[in-house]
Amino acid sequence: MRGNTLRGTALSPTDAGTSPRSRRAATVALEHVSKRFGDHVEDQPAVDDLDLFIPAGATCVLVGPSGCGKTTTLRMVNRLIEPSGGRILIDGEPIAGRDPTELRRGIGYVIQQVGLFPHQTIAENVEVVPRLLGWPAARRRERVEELLRLVGLDPARHLRRYPAELSGGERQRVGVARALAADPPLLLMDEPFGAVDPIVRARLQEELLRLQRELGKTILFVTHDIDEAILMGDLVAVMRQGGTLAQFAPPAELLAHPASDFVARFVGADRALKRLTLRRVGELAPAPVTIAVAGEPLGAARARGGPGAPGHLLLVDHEGRALGWVDARGLPDDRPADPTTARPPAPLLEAETTLRDALSILLDAAGSPGIVVDDTGRPTGLLTVEAITAALQDGNGPGGTGEDAPPPAGSRPTGG
Amino acid sequence: MPGEPLIRWSWVADHPAEIGGALGQHLLLTVLAVLGGLAISLPLAVVAHRYRRTEAPITWVAGVIYTIPSLALFVLLIPVTGLSILTSEIGLVGYTLLILVRNTLAGLDGVPPDVLEAADAMGLTRFQRLVRVELPIAVPVIVAGIRIATVTTVGLVTVTALIGQGGLGQLMLTGFINLFPTEIYVGALLSVVLAVAADAGLLLLQRALTPWARVHGAGA
Amino acid sequence: MDLLAQVLAWFANPGHWQGADGIPTRMLEHVEASGLSVAVAAALALPLGLAVGHTGRGAFLVGSIANLGRALPSFALLLMLIPIAVNLRLDFSTWPILGAMVLLAIPPMLTNAYAGMRAVDRDLVEAARGMGMSGLQVLVRLELPLAVPVLMTGIRLAAVQVVATYTLGAVAGGGGLGRYIYDGFATQDTARMVAGATLVALLAIATDVALGGLARLAAPRGLTVGRPRALPAGEPGTV
Ligand SMILES: Nc1ncnc2c1ncn2[C@@H]1O[C@H](COP(=O)(O)OP(=O)(O)O)[C@@H](O)[C@H]1O
Ligand SMILES: [Mg+2]
């Protein structure tokens, strides 16, 4: 279920061992949950017979058109709204029997308008729940600083400021820090990035994914944006008007096999392209490339490439970083590889780049293959438009790449 | 009395204790009334806020009291509480209610809904939400009400002299009875000064209490 | 409840309903003096408030008058005018109280006329000008009708305040319902005093209700104006 690891990214090792990384996570189960506002039977229910199970540590996204009952569902989980029928269990325990305030102190909650207390400083805002829980002041202060750093804010700059002094993106970061303050095993997020501009939203999404890789919380995330759902979710619950569940599946499956016309229309005609956002360059085995280290005889590079080595060699410096392409056709073996004659090494693709972005970059590059580089900037091979479309055709989900050949060992540079 | 200057400064210089005493009494009557008004209005406003159905009757009663002319209200109280400080304070407190209830209510209504939602979602009890979130956020509007109530009360206290409660009104009344303008003008002037000073002092107090209300940030 | 009986008996006494000190005469005096004062103050305050609201110039003046009006007690103003009347050899049982009433009726009407005009959506004014209305046309056809409810509030507040102030005039020997209170107090006739206070209270409430109803009638159709709730301190407002 942990799609993030499937996307080929390892857990980040920062500050492991302190409390925010305790990786406490809860399971959430909704059993036949429904909600009807008003007493009339003829009223359409806001949520109708909803069944969901969210395993510990998964991010489940509720997505659907406006008014389909996403917010209502979310608010039933922390009992801001009481269900009209069915039951909700956290870690197997029905929440109906628990004291609502006590329950809520153990569930983080992030909303679009953030809801920071305007009369309190950022530090005071973040420590609301720890204060309610009676943590001593020293522990609270330590926790606040830790959390601000975690969400990418500088404690020295922000601790004593008031919410009105922050930008929309900064406020939303504080909202996330506040929700995480008491290390809750469950986080509810209702369109948390709905009010920030697209550039900030993209950054906050990436950071939440990073954070989630570190924290491994169970997250229930509401959005009306299918792209956000596919990006953020390990599981996506598509809801439709009247509060019914249209499909509940991992994003790849949703895109590959929409359960109904409604889901197909909702995810959009560009389903295939969207599937590419689920996969990253690093998941595909790059095609081999023959590498020449600057200054070495061309013959040495050709030998490494083996018989049938192409006429074009990828020139690298002594650190192994790409310098450019050299056209070695017709040149003698004893000629040294000359950086001054090289064409620029473009386009470069990082392992973290989504296949969708990679495709866009390659289409822009008019036929040049992409040079896949690792995080130190060293080439690991080549990626072409054809390789991506092949992955798309075979791919019924991330994992199967269809290119089982291991990267050729000889393609690694030896120098440097 | 014709030919007498409006203010005879030598009299002022000769009677600091009398003037100071009247001023002190005036201030005391005002402070008691506003504090008493707050003690009643805050709970009333909280009730009207929480139980919306009580809002109309509460503001209606406060409005009727506010409409009754001050002298009439004091006189109507005399048979019950006599010519005492209690009579004037009950009347004065009554006049503060409309302004204080209305502004407190508006302050509570002005708390953004997302802030309330966040407070509930974090597990604050209703009481904690009221005391830690709603009332503090309402402070600027509440203090605006206190300022108006205070200035109004300073004026009304002059009338309490008619039921024998002293203050600057007594100074003025003596001046009228003795046909001595200086006492009238000194009393009137000081009551204006007191009102303006109290208003300014409360504004400073509000600024000190709500540093957050002054910041205007980068964001929306 | 002894007192209640006495007060009822006072009202039931037919002698109290006739003559120069009878209830109808005192009531009429009170209403006449109040109406006259409000009319004079309105003639001064409303044009000024409308002009300042329309042009946007002189707002500071309006704010200052409003604040002074709030800080200067009516009782103090009445007493302050007495030595002046004496110096001018005017009747000090008539002129000071009328002067005080006019002066005190000005601030609420001035500020509400101004506030009513300023509350008219500036986009509407822009739109009206864009359609080719002249400044006067904008004032008469757009701003004035839209300002009427707030303006009427000002008149109502002024009238209620004037009714209250005239009561104090009895101290200086004036007429009106305040006489019962003052004379009753002086002669320790509690029933008379309480009856007078009751009459004054009823007159003030009746004024408030009547002018409130008039305001509703005068408001342009289709304009529903929420009651102003919070009063901002230190700014011209409706008090
Ligand atoms: N407090 C409420 N009272 C009555 N109806 C409500 C209330 N809250 C939500 N609804 C209705 O329930 C439905 C679902 O609302 P909501 O959960 O907010 O939708 P979403 O978050 O998916 O946009 C809508 O039709 C909405 O009008
Ligand atoms: Mg919603």
All chains having 3 or more CB pairs closer than 8 angstroms to chain B: A, C
Confidence at A307, pLDDT banded by 50, 70, 90: low
| pTM summary value | 0.83
Asked whether residue C239 is assigned to any structural domain, the reply reads no
Give the integer Cα–Cα distance in Å for B171 and A212.
Answer: 74
Confidence at C237, pLDDT banded by 50, 70, 90: very low
- Per-residue burial over B126-145, b if 16 or more Cβ lie within 10 Å, else e, is eeebbebbbbbbbbbbbbbb
Give the integer Cα–Cα distance in Å for A212 and A254.
Answer: 22
Q: B155 to chain C, minimum CA–CA distance in Å?
A: 4
Is the predicted pLDDT of residue C227 greater than 70, yes or no? no
Confidence at A23, pLDDT banded by 50, 70, 90: low
Least confident span in A61-65, A303-307, C216-220: A303-307
Q: Is the dihedral of CA A224, A226, A228, A233 positive or negative?
A: positive
Q: C133 to chain B, minimum CA–CA distance in Å?
A: 36
Asked whether residue C37 is assigned to any structural domain, the reply reads yes
- Residue tagged 């007078």 (tokens): C196
Q: Which helix (H) or strand (E) holds A220?
A: strand A218-223
Is the predicted pLDDT of residue A1 greater than 50, yes or no? no
pLDDT at C219: 78
Query: Rounded to whole angstroms, what are the CA distances from C162 to A240, B133, C71, C159?
Result: 64, 41, 16, 5
pLDDT at A3: 39
Is the predicted pLDDT of residue B49 greater than 50, yes or no? yes
Q: Which ligand has the shortest distance to the CA of A67? A: 1
ipTM over 0.85: yes
Asked whether residue C238 is assigned to any structural domain, the reply reads no
Q: Which helix (H) or strand (E) holds B47?
A: helix B16-50
Give the integer Cα–Cα distance in Å for B121 and A184.
Answer: 13
Report the percent of chain B where pLDDT is more than 90. Answer: 88
Kindly report the CATH number that applies to the domain delimited by B19-210: 1.10.3720.10
Q: Which helix (H) or strand (E) holds A51?
A: strand A47-54
- Residue in C with minimal Cα distance to B146: C233
Confidence at A306, pLDDT banded by 50, 70, 90: low
Q: Which of A106, A107, A166 sits opposite B218 (nearest CB)?
A: A166
pLDDT in tens, A309-350: 567 888 888 888 888 888 888 788 888 888 888 888 778 888
Residue C24: exposure state from Cβ atoms within 10 A (0-12, 13-18, ≥19): exposed
Give the integer Cα–Cα distance in Å for B207 and B144.
Answer: 11
pLDDT in tens, B99-116: 999 999 999 999 999 999
Asked whether residue C184 is assigned to any structural domain, the reply reads yes
Q: What stretches of A242-381 show up as alpha helix (H) in DSSP?
A: 251-256, 261-267, 271-277, 298-305, 355-364
**Where is pLDDT greater, at B175 or A416?**
B175
Least confident span in A326-330, C165-169, C177-181: A326-330
Q: Which helix (H) or strand (E) holds B71?
A: helix B70-81
The token pair that represents B46 in the structure block? 């909280």
Q: Which of B118, B128, B220 sits opposite A109 (nearest CB)?
A: B118
The token pair that represents A376 in the structure block? 């130190």
CB contact under 8 A, C200 and B103: no
- Per DSSP, chain A holds a count of helices (H) and strands (E) of 16, 16
Over chain C, what is the mean pLDDT?
Answer: 88
The CATH number given to whatever domain includes residue C21 is: 1.10.3720.10
pLDDT in tens, C101-130: 999 999 999 999 999 988 888 888 888 888
Over chain A, what is the mean pLDDT?
Answer: 85
User: With contact defined as beta carbons under 8 Å apart, do C66 and C107 qualify?
Assistant: yes
The token pair that represents B28 in the structure block? 């005391």
Is the predicted pLDDT of residue A13 greater than 70, yes or no? no
Is the predicted pLDDT of residue A409 greater than 80, yes or no? no
pLDDT in tens, B178-207: 989 999 999 999 999 999 999 999 999 999
Asked whether residue C211 is assigned to any structural domain, the reply reads yes
The structural domains of chain B, with segments of one domain joined by +, span 19-210
Residue by residue, DSSP assigns A161-196 as --GGGS-HHHHHHHHHHHHHTT--SEEEEESTTTTS
pLDDT in tens, C6-40: 999 999 999 999 989 999 999 999 999 999 999 99
Residue of C75, C198, C238 to mutate for B, most B C-beta atoms under 10 A: C75
Give the integer Cα–Cα distance in Å for B55 and B39.
Answer: 17
**Where is pLDDT greater, at B26 or B165?**
B26
Is the predicted pLDDT of residue B33 greater than 70, yes or no? yes
**C-beta neighbour count of C23 within 10 angstroms:** 18
Strand partners, A240: A244
pLDDT in tens, B1-22: 557 888 899 999 999 999 999 9
Phi, psi of B135 (to 5 degrees): -65, -45
Cβ neighbors of C136 (< 8 A, separation 6 or more) are none
Least confident span in A27-41, A238-252, B91-105, B125-139: A27-41
Give the integer Cα–Cα distance in Å for B28 and B34.
Answer: 10
Give the integer Cα–Cα distance in Å for A242 and A43.
Answer: 10
Q: Is A342 in the pocket of ligand 1 (CB under 6 A)?
A: no
Residue of B122, B125, B129 to mutate for A, most A C-beta atoms under 10 A: B122
The token pair that represents C118 in the structure block? 């300023």
pLDDT at A87: 96
pLDDT at C234: 44
Does residue A310 have a cis peptide bond before it, meaning omega lies within 30 degrees of 0? Answer: no
- Residue in A with minimal Cα distance to B118: A115
pLDDT at A4: 39
Residue B35: exposure state from Cβ atoms within 10 A (0-12, 13-18, ≥19): middle
All chains having 3 or more CB pairs closer than 8 angstroms to chain C: B
* Total structural domains within chain C: 1
pLDDT in tens, A63-115: 999 999 999 999 999 999 999 999 999 999 999 999 999 999 999 999 999 99
Asked whether residue C65 is assigned to any structural domain, the reply reads yes
Is the predicted pLDDT of residue A5 greater than 60, yes or no? no
pLDDT at A315: 86
Most confident of A301-305, C201-205, C217-221: C201-205
Query: Any CB–CB contact under 8 A between B103 and chain C?
Result: yes
For residues A287-302, give the mean pLDDT.
Answer: 84
Q: Structural domain of residue C194, as residue ranges?
A: 2-218
Which ligand 1 atom is at minimum distance from the Cα of A222? 21
Confidence at C232, pLDDT banded by 50, 70, 90: low
